Amino acid sequence: MRTWLITGANRGLGWHIANAAIAAGDNVIVTGRNLEKITEAFSGYDAKKVVTLALDIAEEDQIRNVVQSAVAIFGKIDILVNNAGYGQLGPFENNSPADIDNQFSTNVFGMFNMCRAVLPIMRKETHGHIFNIASIAGLVGMPGASVYCASKFAVVGFSESLAQEVADFDIKVTVVSPGSFRTDFLDASSAHFGSADIPEYAEFSRKIRDSSERNNHAQQGDPAKLGSVIEQLALDPQAPTHFVVGSDAVQIASDRLNSRKLELEAWRELATSTDTPNQG
């Protein structure tokens, strides 16, 4: 029987991934910043198999405590799902240094610290699978989301490198890049907008906010289906390092690959002109 540790599980993608793991009969540790909310989200489940713990992944001491508790309760951690995160939106100049620090503390450094705490356990077992939830915004830059995109690009690059570093320990790393799924991501409770007011960006910012409100809970992706897919990938020894999910994300990623290839070929001659002449 497998043991999962899932961050940011009180709602959204994390909640659905946890429910898919529970339905598969696995042991699951679900975490969220507010213990009351995470407990309520999983009330009615067998407390011996579904454990709820408070965790703010921006706090290293809380991460250590949760990981220690997980091992004390179930003896191991087979699957780590780094799902906790949020979107810091708006133009770059509208985002203060504090806004950016908070975004990276959760989306990037919190994920780093979760991996740092769990990897020694997986290395000891010579087994494990880490899922880092990124976004299609980690593959394609988007206006009005420069800070969020930067954080998710970091998740993608880190995951690709980490996968190669831990492969010899039979630990897999999959970075999941979803498109738009019908969650609370665009709610005011999740999406944050820059705190710096710059009049020149007022109209652009209004368009970003209007678009967020229009698309909130109208996204085409079904988070329950994504939860089931993650559970399936956790069983597959051939699970990919990169998993782009959602028809919109697949199309966006495909278009970006094609445009990058065209750009690379258009500038190949100039780019390769920088080589040192062959002295032989």
* C-alpha to C-alpha distances, 126 to 15, 39, 120, 172, nearest whole angstrom: 28, 32, 10, 10
Say if residues 173 and 112 touch (Cβ distance below 8 Å): no
Catalytic residues: 148
Calpha distance 141→169 (Å, rounded): 33
CA nearest 223: which of 82, 64, 19, 1?
Answer: 19
Query: CA angle, corner 191, sides to 212 and 215, nearest 5?
Result: 20
Say if residues 121 and 67 touch (Cβ distance below 8 Å): yes
Tokens representing residue 231 in the block:
């559970």
